[in-house]
Amino acid sequence: MFRFFENLVDPYTPYEADDAPPRRLWPFMRAYSVPFHRVFVLAALSSIAVAAVEIGLIAYMGRVVDLLQGDPAEVWSRHGAELLAVAIAILTLRPAVQALNVFVLNNAIMPNYGTLFRWRAHSHVLRQSVGWFEGDFAGRIANRIMQTPPAAGEAVFQIFDAITFALAYIVGAAVLLADADPLLVLPLLIWAGLYGLLVRWTMTRIGPASKASSDARSAVTGRVVDSYTNIHAVKLFAHHDQELEYGREAIETARRTFAREMRLYTIMDVALNLLNGLLIVGVVGWGIWLWVGGSATVGVVAAATALALRLNAMTGWIMWALSSFFQNLGVISEGMETIAQPVTLTDDPAARQLGLTRGDVAFEGVRHHYGVGQGGLENLTLRIAGGEKVGIIGRSGAGKSTLVKLLLRFYDTEGGRITIDGQDVSSVTQASLRRAIGMVAQDGALLHRSVRDNILYGRPEASEADMIRAARHAEAHEFILSLRDGEGRQGYDAHVGERGVKLSGGQRQRITLARVILKDAPILVLDEATSALDSEVEAAIQDTLYGVMEGKTVIAIAHRLSTIARMDRIVVIDEGRIVEEGTHAALLARGGLYAQFWARQSGGFIHTEKTA
C-alpha cells in the first residue's frame, strides 16, 4: 500500500528544462507542480471528504441527543439498527476516508514533491555558468537548494491538509447551522468575516517577514561556510575573533528579523483568542436563545455547541497552518533568487557537436572585460596550429586566465570570436567543447570523494588498469597507495576531503594531472600545472608532461619560465594584448618584455608586478 502511493509520481520524470523559469511565485510553483496535478485533485477531494465526514458526525451527534430525549426501550427498538449502522460506518468508512487522505498527503506528495523540486533546482543551478557561481557564496547557493524544496513541500501539504479542509469544514458548518435555523448561521458568518480580516492582516505581513528571515539565515550560512572553507587563512592570520565578529553580525541580523516575525504571531494569537470567544458566545448563545423560544431542539444546540468548540480548537491550528504556509512561501521566494535565475550562457538551439580534425585554435579580435570595462582582453588575435605547443606569460591581471576561460566558454566573449577547426565555440555544445579540452589548473581542486573517483572523473568508463597507468605517469601511484582517511579507507579508496584539503598541494596537483592524462583530450591547457610541485617531483614528471603533450594542441600558462622554454612558441600578453611572440631564443634576442622577465626571474619564477 505504501509503495503504491509512493510511486504515484516519479520525481525524476523527464521534463523540458527551462533556461528562463518564471520569476513570479505562483507561475514558478505551477511549473514545478505539473506532474502532481492528478494527485493534487485526489488530495483536495479526500480533504473535502474528511471535512464532510466530520461535519456529518457532529450533525448526527445532535440527532442522537434528540433521540435520547425519549424512552430508552422505544429509542432502541426504533433506531437501534440505525445506530449500529452509523457505528459501523464510524469504524470503517471514516478511517478509510482519512487513511486515503493521509496516504495521498504523507506518502504520495510529501516525499516526492520536495524531491522533484530539489532535483530540478539542482539541475537548473548546475547549468549556470562559472561566472554565475563566482558571483555568489557557494554556501548560500547550497542553503537555498536545501531549504527551498522542503518549504515548497510543506506549503503544498498545508494547502490540502489545512486550507482545503478548513474551507470545506466552515462551508459544511454553515450549511448545517443554516439547515437547523437560517439565523443560527449569522454569528458564524460574522466570525468568518472578522477571521478573514485577521488572516489577511497577518499574512500580508508574514510573507515579507519570513522572506527577510530566510534571507538573513542564508547570509549566516554564507558567512559561516566562507569562514570554514578558508579555515587555513583564518588560522594563519590568527583572525578567530574577527571571523567570530563577522559571523555575529549576520547572526544578530537573523535574530532581529526573526524577532520581528514572531511579533506578528503574538498579535495574531491574542486577536484570535478574542475572536474565538465571540464565536463561542455568538453561536452557542444564539442556539440557546432559539431553544428558549422553541425554535431549536436540544440536539441542535448540542450540535451548534460542538461545532463552535471544534472551530475554536481548529482556528489556532488553521492560523498556524496559514502562517506556516506563508512562511514557507517566503522561504520559496528567497530561494527563487537563486533557483529561478535565468541561465544566460546556453547552447544555441542549432548547436552541433564539436567536430575535431587538426585541433587548430584561433582567437580573432577577442575582447572581454567581465562587463566592467577593465581587465581581461582587448582586441586579441592569436592563432595556434593543430599540434602546436604555445606558452603564455604575462603579469598578473594581463588576461592569461581570461583567455583560457573564454576558450572553455565559461564566459561568452564581449567581442570577436574563438574557433576550433573553424567552428565558433559559441555554435557548438558546451559539453562537446569541454570534452575536447583537458585542463590542469593552478589550484588543483578535487572533489570530496575517493582518489579513484577523482581520477576517473577524467574518463569515467576507463578501466582500473588505465586509471593506475595515468596515476603512474603523474608520479602519483606510490603516494596514493600510502593514503588512509579517517574512516579507514586506503589507497585509491581514500577520500581526499573538501577540495582535496587532506592532501598536500603537490599531491593534489599530481592527482589532477592523472585525471587529465586519463582524459586524453586532443587540446591540453596547463594553467600553472606544476606550480604546486617541488623541483624534484617537477623534474620527474616533466618528461611525462611532454609525452602527454605529444600530438596535442597545447596552451601552457606559467610564471615559472623553465616550464615553457621548450614550447614551440611563447606569447607575451600585457594589459589584454599580445606584445611579443616567438621562440624562447628569439624573444631573448629581442631584448623586450620576455627578456626582462627572464633576467629578473629568481628560482625559475618571473616577477609579474610592474616596476616604476
Is 18 among the domain residues?
A: yes
Of 115-124, 285-294, 430-439, 476-485, minimum mean pLDDT range:
285-294
Q: Does 500 score more than 60 pLDDT?
A: yes
Where is pLDDT greater, at 525 or 334?
Answer: 525
Do residues 131 and 409 lie in contact, with contact meaning Cβ atoms separated by under 8 Å? no
- If you average pLDDT over residues 389-418, what whole number do you get? 90
- If you average pLDDT over residues 307-335, what whole number do you get? 78
Do residues 224 and 258 lie in contact, with contact meaning Cβ atoms separated by under 8 Å? no
- If you average pLDDT over residues 319-329, what whole number do you get? 78
Where is pLDDT greater, at 45 or 231?
Answer: 45
pLDDT band at 315 (very low <50, low <70, confident <90, very high): confident
Bridge partners, residue 367, by sequence: 415
Query: CA-to-CA distance for 209 and 268, rounded, in angstroms?
Result: 14
Of 77-81, 178-182, 376-380, minimum mean pLDDT range:
178-182
Q: Does 557 score more than 60 pLDDT?
A: yes
Q: Does 142 score more than 80 pLDDT?
A: yes
Set of cell numbers at residue 292: 428558549
Report pLDDT for 580: 93
User: What pairing do the DSSP bridges indicate for beta strands 523-527 and 437-440?
Assistant: parallel
Residues 60 and 19 in one domain: yes
Of 32-36, 184-188, 384-388, minimum mean pLDDT range:
184-188
Where is pLDDT greater, at 405 or 443?
Answer: 405
Where is pLDDT greater, at 606 or 590?
Answer: 590
Query: CA-to-CA distance for 346 and 52, rounded, in angstroms?
Result: 51
Residue type, 300: V
CB neighbours of 186 closer than 8 A, spacing ≥ 6? Answer: 286
Report pLDDT for 535: 65
Is 563 among the domain residues?
A: no
Residues 419 and 301 in one domain: no
Report pLDDT for 331: 83
- If you average pLDDT over residues 177-194, what whole number do you get? 78
Report pLDDT for 440: 83
Residues 330 and 363 in one domain: no
Residues 331 and 417 in one domain: no
CATH number, domain containing residue 274: 1.20.1560.10
Q: Does 603 score more than 50 pLDDT?
A: no
Residues 396 and 252 in one domain: no
Report pLDDT for 382: 95
Give the tens place of pLDDT for each residue, 15-71. Answer: 888 888 998 888 999 999 999 999 999 999 999 998 888 888 887 787 777 777 767
Most confident of 141-145, 286-290, 373-377: 141-145
Report pLDDT for 530: 64
Q: Does 389 score more than 90 pLDDT?
A: yes
Is 547 among the domain residues?
A: no
Q: Does 376 score more than 90 pLDDT?
A: no
Is 490 among the domain residues?
A: no
pLDDT band at 532 (very low <50, low <70, confident <90, very high): low
Residues 391 and 269 in one domain: no
Set of cell numbers at residue 60: 448526527
Q: Does 124 score more than 80 pLDDT?
A: yes
Is 513 among the domain residues?
A: no
Is 537 among the domain residues?
A: no
Is 141 among the domain residues?
A: yes
202: nearest Cα among 325, 25, 311, 333: 325
Report pLDDT for 112: 94
CATH number, domain containing residue 401: 3.40.50.300
585: nearest Cα among 601, 563, 570, 600: 570
Report pLDDT for 534: 62
pLDDT band at 612 (very low <50, low <70, confident <90, very high): very low
Query: CA-to-CA distance for 514 and 470, rounded, in angstroms?
Result: 5
Mean of the per-residue pLDDT values of the chain: 85
Residues 171 and 267 in one domain: yes
Where is pLDDT greater, at 575 or 530?
Answer: 575
Residues 105 and 175 in one domain: yes
Is 333 among the domain residues?
A: yes
Task: Report residue 473 CA to chain centroid gap.
Answer: 38
Give the tens place of pLDDT for each residue, 411-425. Answer: 999 999 999 999 999
Residues 272 and 368 in one domain: no
Where is pLDDT greater, at 78 or 115?
Answer: 115
pTM for this predicted structure: 0.76
Give the tens place of pLDDT for each residue, 249-261. Answer: 989 998 999 898 8
Q: Tally the domains of the chain.
A: 2
Provide φ and ψ at 532, rounded to 5°. -95, 5
Domain that holds residue 42: 2-339
- If you average pLDDT over residues 545-565, what whole number do you get? 82
User: What pairing do the DSSP bridges indicate for beta strands 389-393 and 569-574?
Assistant: parallel
pLDDT band at 529 (very low <50, low <70, confident <90, very high): low
Query: CA-to-CA distance for 455 and 354, rounded, in angstroms?
Result: 24
Report pLDDT for 531: 61
Report pLDDT for 611: 47
In 10 A of CB 428, how many CB atoms?
21
pLDDT band at 324 (very low <50, low <70, confident <90, very high): confident
Report pLDDT for 342: 92
- If you average pLDDT over residues 327-355, what whole number do you get? 88
Set of cell numbers at residue 158: 498545508
User: What pairing do the DSSP bridges indicate for beta strands 389-393 and 415-420?
Assistant: unpaired
Residues 297 and 231 in one domain: yes
- If you average pLDDT over residues 390-400, what whole number do you get? 87
Terminal Cα-to-Cα distance of the chain (whole angstroms): 79
Query: CA-to-CA distance for 406 and 369, rounded, in angstroms?
Result: 11
Q: Does 307 score more than 70 pLDDT?
A: yes
Do residues 433 and 425 lie in contact, with contact meaning Cβ atoms separated by under 8 Å? yes
Q: Does 374 score more than 70 pLDDT?
A: no
Report pLDDT for 510: 85
